[in-house]
A and B are shown apart, each in its own frame.
Chain A
């Protein structure tokens, strides 16, 4: 029933899950058999049936109070131990700052690099996420690691895990946060220690000599614009970038706007100021994420997509 276990703590959670499921199924089976058996065995045979007067039975009642009590106390203790592990990160954990906003995830690494909707971590090394939200409450949830923690606007929360397998896992937002709550996904990429370090050095490096168009294209991928905007005319969640620049756009309220530099800039910084007709207001604001130079580069890139 559970997804693959890909963190060091997952096994313990799973063991408890399976313990409760099995004990419950056994008890449920017992109760169901009793219901069906009694209903059949003691079915009414005549209107004059006489039934015994059994008002209580102390031994029986104590038994069926104490046994469940013992069982739930086991579950309690087990759950608590697992939880204490989940909330106590090892001292040498690698720290990543997570910023949530409606509706994307930003991962800030120690060298200053930021990745959007992609989290890169080394395998077999504890990682601690220190998280906060820019707006409402979100919740970072990685089913494969069996971890989840709410992300709050007014304080830091944290969670930790140690990935045990190289590969990818899905990250969800688990606390309802509005229109695009169900689009607020990210991917966890687990690398070997060397690959992670290589990634960290190269991914972050921005080549100032790079020409603006290439840089814009890179930024569009890195900031996950391409999950909603295609460059080949396909309609995704947002309008395609192809042929966007200079065209006349119709807004939700009927206004016609020409997609010039200012419009694109506004769309990136304040996406909900004007909503393009036929689309949902689900685009996150990139204010604070992209600086002016980067926005320039994106505009240059969009200009080339005719």
Chain B
């Protein structure tokens, strides 16, 4: 169907204008029915929803655990649980939030759902592998949970040796093994996404027309593929130590416990970027859509994600400034940490510049995006504080660090996820939610969040160490304030669950493009048809070209046998890996 003529770079395509069907009778949610059809589906959208269900469950569990912790901290001594219990609960809270919620949330849920749609593809490159990744995730999660519960693991989510190897017996192994299985899911998803982005783009999607969300996911995939294997190496070394008594981490047989920290952070620091980089992608989409304006500094945003992905591999040592590594190492790690701050800062300014002279509509996703900008900026600045060597010596392992990473992970990543969820919700379910309740809820969560974590900066600066079951009386009022904030946040999430469920059951039907976005995923029906598009989309404009009329974004290859009078011819840039 493509006519390749005079220029090698450009080809002419016969296209038609396709308007998405409104309120389609058949869509991906109702074309295949029944539990079995869901469990064995290879449809990326359903797999995305299955991940959504799973991570919501884990978020709920870990959230309840957080409330238990905060309740215990109402008084300086024992309130209602004992120290061992407390230690197990914070271990579970951290491990579940990080490994079962944060790492898979954006890529596996929103990435799975949106990535093929933004490419105009029918599915990801390897749909079966995609389903397998989901089951690997479930198996890994169950295995890890089993290990934690049976072993009463109380090591903190960082599993530092030798504490972890001496107290939890064999369970540190089972634990690492479970997370290793989870890691596979991550690696496979990363590979799947990368191949899909390279090979499955619709005609006309050249690299400079790739939505920034996909640049974010692309950078994330690189990290997933390169960092996660280190976890496997760590496991192998632990096994060798246990089975063959080769001293690696255990000082009792000549190993070095700090080596374990290096391994752990070599994976876990990049993992921080697995959590946050895809969030940057979402924010770019949302801010551009709700400002109806071309994104400012497309390449700056795209390349800074890649830069973060690469430099992110070289900063792990900043978790270990007081661990006894050499001054030289500390100096280098501190320096590189500051470098990684720059591309992050650049993005914030780009997003602001995108809003400048835009046509801003403060719908819920946009409100979450702005909340993200505010909270994440605080997270970033406090990160600079912790990167400064002399200051980190004082602040390391205090509540300052706890507050910092909650601002980055929850204020950044979770807010970005919520922006994305509210943004794509109509596309996922074909229903709208109540704008009113959504905004109220956002306000409640915002207030609760800041009440919870702002006092923790103060406590930390004053020297309150983290992971403390008892604390000295001086900190009680801060802790109580923080606990009240956590309850408020909890109420916020319950409200969210309520209006989301209401939306599913009784929500108003959503149009195909309720936000007036130019992005490709909005040029098909809501909910999406089983095969995403009824045609092969053809792209001649960038995803943020709000100065072009909407109809220019609704082009598709004209059917061979069709007799359409509306056919026309467009010139499309060809890139090598594009699919036919």
Contact = CB atoms under 8 A, between A and B. Distances in A.
A136 B162 contact: yes
B384 A20 contact: yes
Contact of A83 (B166, B330, B352, B461): B330
Interface stretch (A62-70, A215-223, A240-248, A284-292): A62-70
B377 A178 contact: no
Interface in A23-53: 24, 27-28, 31-32, 34-35, 38-39, 42-45, 47, 49-53
A54 B327 contact: no
Contacts of A172: 463, 465
Contacts of A148: 322, 393-394, 396-397
Nearest to A50: B547
A271 B42 CA distance: 57
A69 B342 contact: yes
A12 B255 CA distance: 37
B391 A16 contact: yes
B292 A56 contact: no
Interface stretch (A112-120, A152-160, A202-210): A152-160
Given A28-B381, A49-B359, A176-B163, A80 B398 contact: no
B162 A174 contact: no
Contacts of B398: 174
Contact of A34 (B352, B391, B469): B352
Contacts of B294: 51, 53-55
A148 to B, nearest CB: 5
B210 interface: no
A80 B331 contact: yes
Contacts of B377: 27-28, 31
B300 A56 contact: yes
A141 B397 contact: yes
A47 B359 CA distance: 9
Main secondary structure of the interface of B (DSSP, over half): helix
A143 interface: yes
A76 B393 contact: no
Contacts of A12: 390
A27 B381 contact: yes
B257 A152 contact: yes
B334 A44 contact: no
Given A72-B338, A154-B257, A182 B300 contact: no
Given A72-B338, A152-B324, A154-B251, A16 B154 contact: no
B468 interface: yes
A113 B298 CA distance: 67
A42 B156 contact: no
Interface residues of B, number: 87
Given A148-B397, A174-B396, A180-B83, A51 B357 contact: yes
Interface in B136-176: 154-156, 160, 162-163, 166-167
Given A42-B357, A54-B356, A68 B345 contact: yes
B547 A28 contact: no
Contacts of B291: 42, 51
Nearest to A27: B381
Contact of B154 (A82, A150, A178, A185): A178
Nearest to A68: B345
Given A13-B391, A27-B377, A28-B381, 16 more contacts: A1-B457, A17-B391, A20-B384, A24-B385, A38-B355, A51-B546, A53-B294, A61-B346, A64-B346, A76-B335, A148-B397, A152-B324, A174-B397, A176-B87, A182-B467, A182-B469
Interface of A: 1-3, 12-13, 16-17, 20-21, 24, 27-28, 31-32, 34-35, 38-39, 42-45, 47, 49-57, 60-61, 64-65, 68-69, 72-73, 75-76, 78-87, 135-137, 139, 141, 143-144, 146-150, 152-155, 157, 170, 172-183, 185, 280, 282
15 contacts: A1-B462, A2-B461, A16-B388, A20-B384, A24-B385, A31-B348, A38-B358, A39-B362, A42-B356, A54-B356, A76-B388, A79-B390, A79-B392, A154-B256, A172-B465
